[in-house]
Structure 1
Amino acid sequence: MDVPVLCWVCSLTPQVSEAEYNLCLKAVQDAWPDSPVIAKFKNAPQSYDTLREIISHIMPLLMMRQQRVARSKWRQLQTDRGKKWIERASQDQDGMHPSKHLSSMMGYTTCMEHNMVVMAAAQGKRHQVVNIGIDVKRLVVEGVPVQQWAQSVSHKLTQFEINSLANLPDVTLLSRLCILLTVKESLINGLGQPVGFDLSRIECNIPENQIRVDGQPLLGWEFRLFRSVQQGVSPQGVSFSDPYQITVAFYRGNNISKFVFVENPKDIERLTQYFPLDNLLKVIPKLLQDS
Structure 2
Amino acid sequence: MQGEMYCWIVFLDRDPTEEEFTHVYGLMDTQGRERVRKMQAEQEPKEEQFRLMISRLLPMWMLRNRGVLRGSWVLGETRDGKPYVASPVLAPQLAFDVAYTNHAAGIVFAEVALTVPERIGMDVMQLVPTPPGPNIQPWIASCAHMLTPLERNMIHSQPDHVAFRRMTVVWTMKYAYIKALGIRPDKFNFQSIECDVPRGTVRVDGAPLFGWEFRLFKASVGSAARGEMKPEEYQIACALYHGPTAAQPKVSFGEEYLKMDQWIKFINVDGVMQFVKEMYKEDPAERKAKARAVAMPDVHGPGAMSNAVRFVQSQAGHTAAHR
Q: Normalised by the size of structure 2, how large is the TM-score?
A: 0.75
Q: Which whole-Å deviations, capped at 9, do the CAs of 1:213-238 have from their partners, x for residues lacking one?
A: 3444432111011111112346564x
1:115 equivalent to 2:108? Answer no
Provide the secondary structure at the position in 2 that maps to 1:16: coil
Alignment of 1:152-191 (within 5 A): 152-191=142-181
Provide the secondary structure at the position in 2 that maps to 1:44: helix
1:148 equivalent to 2:138? Answer yes
1:39 equivalent to 2:34? Answer yes
- Aligned equivalent of 1:231: 222
Deviation at 1:51, TM superposition (A): 2.2
Cα distance in 1 for residues equivalent to 2:106 and 2:159: 29
- Aligned equivalent of 2:26: 26
User: Are 1:226 and 1:268, in contact at CA under 8 Å, matched by a contact in 2?
Assistant: no
- Aligned equivalent of 1:102: 91
User: Are 1:52 and 1:117, in contact at CA under 8 Å, matched by a contact in 2?
Assistant: yes
Cα distance in 2 for residues equivalent to 1:24 and 1:124: 29
Cα distance in 2 for residues equivalent to 1:210 and 1:221: 11
Q: Normalised by the size of structure 1, how large is the TM-score?
A: 0.82
Say if 1:61 and 1:123 are closer, same or farther in 2 by CA, change over 3 A. Answer: same
Which stretch of structure 1 is more off in the superposition, 163-172 or 270-279?
163-172
User: Are 1:61 and 1:287, in contact at CA under 8 Å, matched by a contact in 2?
Assistant: no
Cα distance in 2 for residues equivalent to 1:214 and 1:264: 28
Among residues 216, 229, 239, which one is paired with 1:249 in the alignment?
239
- Aligned equivalent of 2:185: 195
Which stretch of structure 1 is more off in the superposition, 145-154 or 260-269?
260-269
Q: Which whole-Å deviations, capped at 9, do the CAs of 1:156-193 have from their partners, x for residues lacking one?
A: 21121111112322222221111111110000000001
- Aligned equivalent of 1:55: 54
Give the letter aligned to residue 10 of structure 2. C
Provide the secondary structure at the position in 1 that maps to 2:168: helix
Among residues 110, 113, 122, which one is paired with 1:134 in the alignment?
122
Cα distance in 2 for residues equivalent to 1:221 and 1:174: 25
**TM-align CA RMSD:** 2.7
Cα distance in 1 for residues equivalent to 2:272 and 2:2: 30
Say if 1:211 and 1:279 are closer, same or farther in 2 by CA, change over 3 A. Answer: same
Cα distance in 1 for residues equivalent to 2:75 and 2:226: 38
Where in structure 2 are there 5+ consecutive unaligned residues?
Answer: 287-323
Say if 1:122 and 1:265 are closer, same or farther in 2 by CA, change over 3 A. Answer: closer
User: Are 2:14 and 2:269, in contact at CA under 8 Å, matched by a contact in 1?
Assistant: no
User: Are 2:75 and 2:86, in contact at CA under 8 Å, matched by a contact in 1?
Assistant: yes
Q: Which whole-Å deviations, capped at 9, do the CAs of 1:63-91 have from their partners, x for residues lacking one?
A: 2223443212433355566544437748x
Cα distance in 1 for residues equivalent to 2:87 and 2:241: 23
Q: Which whole-Å deviations, capped at 9, do the CAs of 1:84-125 have from their partners, x for residues lacking one?
A: 4437748xxxxxxxxxx522x211100012110010000133
User: Are 1:122 and 1:129, in contact at CA under 8 Å, matched by a contact in 2?
Assistant: no
User: Are 1:65 and 1:287, in contact at CA under 8 Å, matched by a contact in 2?
Assistant: no
Deviation at 1:129, TM superposition (A): 6.2
Cα distance in 1 for residues equivalent to 2:23 and 2:147: 41
Cα distance in 2 for residues equivalent to 1:182 and 1:226: 10
User: Are 1:108 and 1:129, in contact at CA under 8 Å, matched by a contact in 2?
Assistant: no
> Alignment length, in residue pairs?
274
